Amino acid sequence: MADSPHGTLLVVADGMGGHAGGEVASQTATEAILGCVQQAEPGRGGEAILAEALQRANQSIRARAEQEPTLRGMGTTAVCVLVHADEIAWAHVGDSRLYVHRPGELRQVTRDQSRVQAMVDAGQITADEARVHPMRNVISQALGSRADVTPEMGSHPVQPGMVLLLCTDGLNGMVEDRRIGEILDQGNADALDPTAQALVDAALEAGGEDNVTVVLANPAP
């Protein structure tokens, strides 16, 4: 989480390509996105800033892998959000997610760029089957994997009582949305750390082996 002239930036990136590569890819992406947002011209829209930041992050990861052969093949997902006044803008590549929670209601905002999501869209499997499908880890786009990436983006009004949840599939792959919503319902929107910990604990209790990253934020002033 970081402040910029364009609002508060939230980023979650889930690296892949061996332990070292995954770590370097997610860190490189986070730094590139932050740098790009901080340098963006005033007056530009949040969605455009974030989409360009993701393109820039893609190039940074590829440049880094080019220099260090041991890092070749590394990549990362990224979901990022800019909270500015009464609106949030978001953009993402891969299958890390943004959810919006309001009391009694959890809504997935991003749509995974993944093989199983394509199968759900085609009506071949249900969303519940996707969570346990053998192909569930196959993403259709990652930062670093090819010269061009196509981020998906959008915006959403800030509403009272709203909490933003950004997470890796280490959370939503292990814990059903219904349970994530219950944990958020039990939390306090003004003190989110214990709720974030409760979500991580739920993923680990469900047998989570994947790294679980959870960012919660309350965008309402």
- Residue 95 neighbours by CB distance under 10 Å: 27
Stretch touching Ca ion by CB under 5 A, among 21-29, 85-93, 103-111, 166-174: 166-174
Shortest separation between residue 77's beta carbon and Ca ion, angstroms? 8
Give the residue with the Cβ less far from Ca ion, 13 or 192.
13
Give the rounded distance of the alpha carbon of 84 from its chain centre. 18
- Residue 67 neighbours by CB distance under 10 Å: 8
Nearest CA-CA partner of 93 in 44, 147, 51, 38: 51
Radius of gyration of the chain (CA): 17
Q: Show the binding pattern over residues 191-220: x = contacts Ca ion (CB under 5 A), - = does not.
A: -------------------x----------
User: Is residue 169 a contact residue for Ca ion (CB under 5 A)?
Assistant: yes
Which residues inside 7-36 make contact with Ca ion, applying CB under 5 A? 14
User: Is residue 95 a contact residue for Ca ion (CB under 5 A)?
Assistant: no
Distance CA 94, CA 52 (A): 16
Distance CA 12, CA 92 (A): 9
Q: Taking a C-beta distance cutoff of 8 angstroms, is the pair 5, 77 a contact?
A: no
Shortest separation between residue 41's beta carbon and Ca ion, angstroms? 34
Beta bridge partners of 152: 92
Q: Show the binding pattern over residues 115-154: x = contacts Ca ion (CB under 5 A), - = does not.
A: ----------------------------------------
Shortest separation between residue 175's beta carbon and Ca ion, angstroms? 14
Give the residue with the Cβ less far from Ca ion, 26 or 168.
168
Q: Which residues of this chain interact with Ca ion, rule CB under 5 A? A: 14, 168-169, 210
